[in-house]
Structure 1
């Protein structure tokens, strides 16, 4: 009997919710070892320029060269994102999911996820629900809520 290899995108962030998604997906036996699994995180340059890495308050800088500081911030975000992805890749490969790849996305997380899913013919997107405060939810919206309304493939939201 042949199995159909599914393409599954697991969207992660740097919070505990991202780690919870990985643990939950594995513990609920949702994946097959034959699946193509893409672990993805997005580096949102617009948010980092206002809020700082990971939605933290941006430190005030006395630097005369703001664009240089901005470039350093983006590189820090990219390095953190890559490290987070590599931890997930290592964990999933150790669990037997050998066909796991990393995808460092750029831009608005929700739009980047939708574009990646479409470009790679993803069958299922799995993401967590980050419990943002009311202010951040009103200003930035909810990635999972946006995906519900705009994603063409199936979506699983892990609480």
Structure 2
């Protein structure tokens, strides 16, 4: 029996796993980014940045203003928010020594755009934060994480920020 070539490949020859993280201007989304970096991408787990077997893509989706609402002020606010989110994400990655990442800003419904980005980037995992809304708020507002969990063509990790637990050791 001959040995397969796949067993002799070096890590740099392997295609990197694509992890897409949805970010907005909420504490929950940045907690999900922090969790992803701390648990999956920590450079200290690898010899150097090139050894990290993941490609990180950060996606921010600007809300679509809708018919009749697309005035200059609303559009300017969306652009400002997108710029703030992108700057915070870049600063976070820089502070954590993550140099291999991309940031993309899209416009539209976050649920659909995240699922479309999964297909576009051939993502292996989509990470989204959870706002922790109750059933009533989810029914009224809709849940991006729930929609993605049912419609994205990859594994979906929903990161929920733990509530502060006092008197626990």
Shorter-chain TM-score bucket reads: 0.7 to 0.9
CA contact under 8 A between 1:17 and 1:130: conserved in structure 2? yes
For residue 138 of structure 2, what is the aligned residue in structure 1?
Answer: 137
CA contact under 8 A between 1:39 and 1:89: conserved in structure 2? no
For residue 57 of structure 2, what is the aligned residue in structure 1?
Answer: 38
Deviation, 1:10, is 0.6
Deviation, 1:18, is 1.5
Q: How does 1:74-93 map to 2 (within 5 A)?
A: 74-93=75-94
The structure that has the greater radius of gyration is 2
Note the alpha carbon deviations across 1:5-55, whole angstroms, 9 max, x for none. 111111012111022112222222x12644221111111114xx59xxxxx
For residue 34 of structure 2, what is the aligned residue in structure 1?
Answer: 23
For residue 95 of structure 1, what is the aligned residue in structure 2?
Answer: 96
> Partners of 1:95 and 1:139 in 2: how far apart?
37
> Partners of 1:98 and 1:135 in 2: how far apart?
40
Q: Which runs of 4+ in 1 moved over 3 A?
A: 132-136
Q: Does 1:111 align with 2:131?
A: no
Unaligned runs of 5+ in 2: 1-9, 44-48, 161-169
> Partners of 1:20 and 1:86 in 2: how far apart?
16
Q: TM-score, length-normalised on structure 2?
A: 0.72
Deviation, 1:135, is 4.9
